[in-house]
Amino acid sequence: MATTAIATPRHQSLALQTIALVPGLLLLAAVGYAGKVIEQSIAAYTKSHHITFPNIEYVLWAIVIGLILSNTIGIPRVFATGVATYEFWLKAGIVLLGSRFLLGDVLHLGGISLALVAIAITLSLTFMHVLGRAFKLKPKLTSLLAVGSSICGVSAIIAAKPSIDADDEDASYAIAAILALGAISLFTFPLIGHSLHLSDKAYGLWAGLAVDNTAEATAAGALYSDAAGKVAVLAKTSRNALIGFIVLGYAIYWSSRGQAEKVTNKAAFLWQKFPKFVLGFLLISLLATVGFFTKPQLTSLANLSRWAFLLTFAGVGLRTNLRELGKQGWRPFAVGAIGEVFIALLTLGLVYGADHYLTL
């Protein structure tokens, strides 16, 4: 997943930092809500005029509106801080989404996801390094692209960067390539899923295993169906949980070659890199399972999660600047793109193979 980098100088007071968030937050809310209104308006119009028209989810409208704004008039600086919180809302939304899962289902599907993730990560990391050598990329840039495309996109790159002592430039290339590929997968995955007539569970698992950033994986799942979105989040969360182990592996590898600092406390390293929202998700799921919430309260929590995702999807469109991504050079993008296609095909094959275990 991408970052929640809130670029605020240290000398600013908390009040000023909070005020700086307001314009961007309002923009996220306006774009997301506009997407919801468009979906409802089209549905109401087609229903009242007896027109058969496929329902286009607010997710797509919010992303498209955001993309148009950021790539035409651009996003003024005053909005940047608030828009950057979209990842924050994603994490809060994922924690709240735990209320829609029984813990047994989480462990069942999460277990399947983890097994598939382990296979996919091993093969995709190997493949990415072969590709990196073939395209003559710098080894650390290849490492960053490999963790980005195998684990959880931009946040995996950010977690790995200081651990393997990679250059800022390499990190920027890898992040740009992963963001561009994430934007492409948003539009291609649902089309492929529908053309292959994948079930909601199979598609959700595929999106969760193959799409890099958590925001894009959540959106790609929700674009298919509500049920697919739910499964995509769970599969992606399982994948995110492994980030610390992979980054630790790379840190040990590069330090053994004398090109990164040695990891002295591995447990502390793993905890530092572990995405904490996974624990929040499991806690809410446990509480829902033991009957801590009533049915109407569970509905409220699920709706709260959807409102949080609405802000996230608006942010996905608003932060994607296609011109900026185009400036980053073709080779990292080519390696990332070929790697993504490989990972998409590999995980699709794995999901087909595991389909009869998907009894969520």
Interacting residues with another protein (CB under 8 A): 2-7, 87-89, 91-93, 95-96, 99, 154-155, 157-159, 161-162, 168-169, 171-172, 175-176, 179, 272, 275-277, 279-280, 283-284, 287, 292-293, 296-297, 299-301, 303-304, 306-308, 319, 321, 324
Q: Are 351 and 251 in contact (CB under 8 A)?
A: no
Query: Rg of the Cα trace of the chain?
Result: 20
User: Nearer to another protein by C-beta: 62 or 351?
Assistant: 62
Please choose, from the candidates 154, 150, 182, 194, the residue with its C-alpha nearest in 3D space to the C-alpha of residue 316: 182
Give one DSSP letter per residue of 206-263, joined into a string. HHHHH-SSHHHHHHHHHHH-HHHHHHHHHHHHHHHHTHHHHHHHHHHHHHHTTSS---
Query: CB of 123: closest distance to another protein in angstroms?
Result: 27
User: Nearer to another protein by C-beta: 125 or 159?
Assistant: 159
Q: Are 247 and 240 in contact (CB under 8 A)?
A: no
Query: CB of 218: closest distance to another protein in angstroms?
Result: 14
Query: CB of 187: closest distance to another protein in angstroms?
Result: 22
Residue for token digits 């193959």?
210
Query: CB of 220: closest distance to another protein in angstroms?
Result: 20
Q: Are 71 and 318 in contact (CB under 8 A)?
A: no
User: Nearer to another protein by C-beta: 202 or 215?
Assistant: 215
Query: CB of 334: closest distance to another protein in angstroms?
Result: 18
Q: Are 191 and 175 in contact (CB under 8 A)?
A: no
Query: CB of 72: closest distance to another protein in angstroms?
Result: 18
User: Nearer to another protein by C-beta: 193 or 229?
Assistant: 229
Query: CB of 322: closest distance to another protein in angstroms?
Result: 13
User: Nearer to another protein by C-beta: 302 or 354?
Assistant: 302
Residue 209 to residue 313: CA distance in whole angstroms:
19
Residue 157 to residue 128: CA distance in whole angstroms:
14
User: Nearer to another protein by C-beta: 122 or 297?
Assistant: 297
Query: CB of 110: closest distance to another protein in angstroms?
Result: 18
Alpha-helical (H) ranges within the chain are 14-48, 58-71, 77-83, 86-97, 103-134, 139-147, 153-164, 168-195, 200-210, 214-224, 226-241, 243-256, 266-273, 277-289, 295-318, 322-326, 330-354
User: Nearer to another protein by C-beta: 258 or 296?
Assistant: 296
User: Nearer to another protein by C-beta: 148 or 193?
Assistant: 148
Please choose, from the candidates 317, 321, 304, the residue with its C-alpha nearest in 3D space to the C-alpha of residue 28: 317
Residue 311 to residue 186: CA distance in whole angstroms:
17
